[in-house]
Copies of this chain bind each other. A is one copy, B any other.
């Protein structure tokens, strides 16, 4: 016994498929009596429209692709939640895949998602290269970058001002007299947000005439264990840092833990600022001073923007920059 189709409903209700299709899709051009009749049959038969057939006929699947580095990282998980909530609101479903930031995976995923005829794509990656941009332009569907940017801003994106945010944090350190400020910058890429953060770091130092010391800058992934290693490296230095700026809360948390393990007091011996204000920030002691990136909102706004493109709505601004701020908690001292 096969599934029940629109044809069965039509026959049973004594109308044509077209009419059934109309009532299912809420087309107003159906006489109320007819609508009721059809609705009853649908109810009775337990008819459920086949979205695949519908997708083939209408060329719309009401599903969007989401390519994300790693859903098991708090930051990305919160981003994803923002995306999914708005998607739900607009009746879209999400195909979610982890790329691990590998170019190969990324392109493979873009391809399979296009093959699955997603109506739009949200792409998240540290490194959006020209090749990515070409691929997105060739795709016949809208693409929005979330918490990611391409160098030339050719693809619509939702971010914060990473340079400025970092500049603010470093300047705060400088204002408290710090001269040796370490930077756990995140991955080494060529065109990502970690470059923007690096700019902010250097600009802040320059503005205060503090010489740049490359020993104080460490590249790594964003995970906890990377932070642990980085801290050890910094601790081997002859001139140790007195403040650390971290490109993620996980890294910052790792620094706090490593400090604790070394018997170093945070914030009195060393101050730490994180990035993202993930749930972690409030879940640790001392609580973490961190740059608030409205993670959930970035996801939500990115998805909202995508819906506008998908529905050919007017959009004023292709590159949305959300506000950021620093929230001061226990891992930094009060300003003098």
Q: A residues near B, CB below 8 A?
A: 3, 48-53, 55-56, 61, 63, 70-74, 77-78, 80-81, 84-85, 88, 93-98, 111-117, 140, 224, 250, 253-254, 256-257, 260, 279-280, 282-285, 296
Contact = CB atoms under 8 A, between A and B. Distances in A.
B50 A52 contact: no
Given A96-B94, A283-B253, A285-B257, A114 B71 contact: no
A84 B95 CA distance: 11
A51 B96 contact: no
B283 A250 contact: yes
Given A84-B71, A283-B280, A95 B97 contact: no
Contact of A95 (B80, B93, B283): B93
B71 A77 contact: yes
A48 B84 contact: no
> Which of A72, A85, A253, A296 has the most C-beta atoms of chain B within 10 angstroms of its own C-beta?
A72
A111 to B, nearest CB: 7
Contacts of A116: 51-52, 63, 93
Contacts of A280: 280, 283
Q: Please indicate which of the listed interface residues A115, A117, A257, A283 has the most CB atoms of chain B within 10 Å of its own CB.
A: A283
B81 A114 contact: no
A313 B278 CA distance: 42
Nearest to A93: B95
Nearest to A81: B72
Contact of A56 (B53, B84, B85, B95): B53
A301 to B, nearest CB: 16
A80 B71 contact: yes
A284 to B, nearest CB: 6
Given A94-B95, A283-B280, A285-B260, A61 B71 contact: no
Given A77-B71, A250-B283, A95 B52 contact: no
Contacts of A56: 50, 52-53, 56
